[in-house]
């Protein structure tokens, strides 16, 4: 017996998914794509042509008017549907049942429920945006001194990162501006004595915010050691409730990505969060002279119910001043 080679069908993933959903054999027609590749529109056209031919053959009594309309709207070929009406007539519920039992498309199979830590994050962020009136202030900072300082200490303090330096700067700033170190519980504004700075850490399935407790009482090297330990625990899923509790303010640093600036979402019950973009070469004008330096964009989001614009602007300005202050950075190693 002579055996003919099986035709190899070249088709896009979307075309294959559509054909499977509609019960169409791709080997029965040619595609309009490059090298005869079958694309989704070819499948839809073929289905419509087949549907039109079959519907002309089927007697009018085969399907109810509503079932025909549903089939037309949903692009369902009536010859694929088993009728449950009198004499096998197709009624609307038959179309509905066919659609529910159809093989899911690739897009549907890629769906997954929102659950676990992803659900917790979604609920918390939704609550924050829905219930907290966010205001975001942004400022471009000359980070040249910050970069020079970190470069100068690399040999002796290789584990100190920009995040560690920024946490130290934030801790001093929060101590200087206690009106920012607050939270709102029902109708009560709570001012906090402790300066606990959280840092947003990306993990495989979401985001966590471990907290540096009493950051204002720690040196940069102590902060660097703690952040390293917390990031390691976060990545291994070993953070404890203590590691995640009593945060007063959050730092979200995306400086390692190609992001100049963004509007961070407040991490309740906190009242403010600082977003940090990347450090990049930039132009600065001083005394009518142009120089090349390193810029950094800071974005402060705050809860306008408990923090007003003026103190928030002063707080952000103070952070800018510390970043641009080489003498403070040098003193901070021992503070």
For residue 198, pLDDT over 60 is answered with: yes
pLDDT at 183: 94
Q: Which conformational region is residue 237 in: left (phi greater than 0), alpha (psi within -120 to 50 degrees), or beta?
A: left
Render pLDDT for 94-151 as a digit per residue (tens, 0 to 9): 888 877 775 555 555 567 787 788 888 888 999 999 999 999 999 999 999 999 999 9
Query: What SS3 string covers 12-76?
Result: CHHHHHHHHHHCCCHHHCCCCCHHHCECHHHHHHHHHHHHHHHHHHCCHHHECHHHHHHHHHHCC
Residues designated as active site: 304
What CATH architecture applies to the domain 116-332? 2-Layer Sandwich (3.30)
Statement: the pTM of the whole predicted model exceeds 0.75: no
pLDDT at 28: 73
Residue ranges of the chain that CATH labels 3.30.559.10: 116-332
pLDDT at 34: 63
């Amino acid at each position: 017996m002579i055996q003919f080679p099986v035709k190899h069908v070249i088709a896009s993933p979307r075309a294959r998914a559509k054909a499977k959903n509609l019960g169409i054999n791709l080997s029965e027609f040619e595609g309009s794509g490059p090298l005869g590749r079958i694309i989704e529109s070819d499948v839809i056209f073929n289905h419509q042509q087949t549907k039109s031919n079959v519907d002309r053959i089927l007697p009018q009594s085969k399907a109810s008017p509503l079932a025909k309309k549903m089939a037309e709207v949903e692009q369902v070929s009536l010859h694929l549907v088993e009728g449950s009406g009198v004499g096998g007539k197709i009624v609307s519920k038959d179309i509905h049942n066919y659609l529910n039992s159809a093989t899911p498309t690739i897009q549907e199979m890629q769906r997954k429920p929102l659950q676990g830590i992803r659900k917790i994050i979604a609920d918390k962020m939704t609550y924050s945006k829905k219930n907290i009136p966010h205001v975001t202030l942004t400022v471009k900072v000359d980070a040249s001194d910050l970069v020079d300082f970190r470069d100068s200490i690399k040999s002796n303090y290789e584990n100190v990162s920009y995040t560690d330096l920024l946490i130290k700067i934030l801790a001093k700033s929060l101590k200087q501006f206690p009106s920012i170190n607050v939270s709102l519980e029902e109708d009560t504004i709570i001012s906090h004595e402790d300066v606990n700075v959280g840092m947003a850490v990306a993990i495989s399935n979401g985001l966590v915010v471990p907290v540096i407790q009493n950051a204002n009482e720690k040196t940069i090297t102590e902060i660097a050691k703690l952040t390293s330990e917390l990031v390691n625990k976060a990545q291994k899923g070993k953070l404890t409730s203590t590691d995640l509790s009593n945060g007063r303010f959050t730092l979200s640093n995306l400086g390692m990505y190609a992001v100049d600036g963004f509007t961070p979402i407040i991490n309740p019950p906190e009242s403010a969060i600082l977003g940090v973009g990347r450090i990049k070469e930039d132009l600065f004008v001083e005394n009518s002279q142009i120089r090349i330096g390193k810029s950094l964009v800071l974005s402060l989001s705050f809860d306008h119910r408990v923090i007003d614009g003026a103190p928030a602007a002063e707080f952000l300005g103070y952070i800018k001043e510390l970043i641009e202050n080489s003498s403070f950075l040098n003193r901070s190693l021992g503070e």
